[in-house]
Structure 1
């Protein structure tokens, strides 16, 4: 006589969330739902709406299509049973978990922070490149003269470009990028007030700096130490080389005094209109000099934010002998 087995549990129809080492798992109507399921539903809903004539060729439609395709692409490993449940959940592409990395709830934070900091950098850059609101400009002229306003505009442009470059390294969890981003956001908050009484941008910069400082534990990638060779020599040389190259190009294209060439080079590096005017073949001198400045700034960012590198040279004979002796003694002491 066969014993009756345990009663079969009825599937849970209501939505519920299961915690898993590879990421959260969503269940609904008795089955597990993946990201690609949601993307497929979005595309099917758009197709049905298009057949019914409810949607047309518009930006929201294309954005919805991009979202649907992205949800399927990021979850491509779960499309087949062979690769299913082999990758950890991420806001970006799902990737196999690294063996030495511990997953946490703040795992998506570097991606969100990188996107947010990049967006704030663009907002600050556009604010520095556009004219101030008239009543704020008139009020500032009673506090500081016009040349000082231009100085703070230039400083805001330089800080915004530096912040935009640090956004990528924030996504890569670089600790030094976090420290620089917090300092730049605080400086931009001050520059926005002094260049045009831009209270909105200044408030956003300071709030984002506070959020970055609060989530600083998510940025743990260490860097090469800033020694004399890297910090005190390479970075100033790159900056000076970019400025000299730009100055030579401006001096060749324009027949002006050295002081005028220096002023023009500085303004063009900050993507501002200088005292000189270029025509015909040299009409886009501003673009050429600006790209040189961006290239130099990118190289400085690489030197500043690069992670710890593996040693390039093999251990010497003394270290190899000590390692061999340690391996041979293993098992012969009380600590083995």
Structure 2
């Protein structure tokens, strides 16, 4: 036992003291063996464990389980002579004895293991951030491509004034996208400004085919709240191009931004033709087309959700049993 590579101790549970200890236990706790044998498990443990539980109470439970079942394993925090914390894995094994309640304790220092887990978590977080940057690098051209189509539309119709106005707003939009193309987060006020520019371009392009309402909770400090950039726009784009554009009469797009507790809610609602009708039309007109923007946004939601709490809900609206639009709600923990 003295020459064991891991720290080994023998505990007399009735006295609460060690009756034997290996040389490696001396080294781990920086306590000479003769002094160590005057102590017990609770003397080399803090009063409370990191999760807030009282060491005395919880260790008694583990010990009783070991005496009853014959063995028990658990993670534990010990302290050395200088009261430095030592994260450990404890393995208790009951030693047969007629006179005493003896347990052999194997104490394994898992500091290196915990450090490696932390390093892995940091590495995975960095990988997630790089994936988000890569996705944004694809989303931004997709976003810009649709706007360029609109400019081409006006040039094709020889509408010089509309083309100039469109280019002016488009340049503001491009500047915003470039400024935030590598940022994980963006101020809510800047995201709102980008949305307004995008929607004004689409309203001009579709010759006021829809009205736009923007409702922002006046209590929201939009200059100080940060959210993932370019997260809302693809859902707005989908509402316009698939819901409202195909509606025979003029429609309405409403974006509402509210706060409940620590969550910022974005609601994108249109009174268009509904998702099912839009999918049927799209399948007929563009049978091989896939919604790249929404697919990428869904991937971004999944990646962001590894680090942040984001909720997503889509609702098909009905009126008198008929489709009457779509409502998308995104909740972001602020």
Instruction: Give the structure-1-normalised TM-score.
Output: 0.24
Structure (1 or 2) with the larger CA radius of gyration: 2
**Bigger proportion of residues as helix:** 1
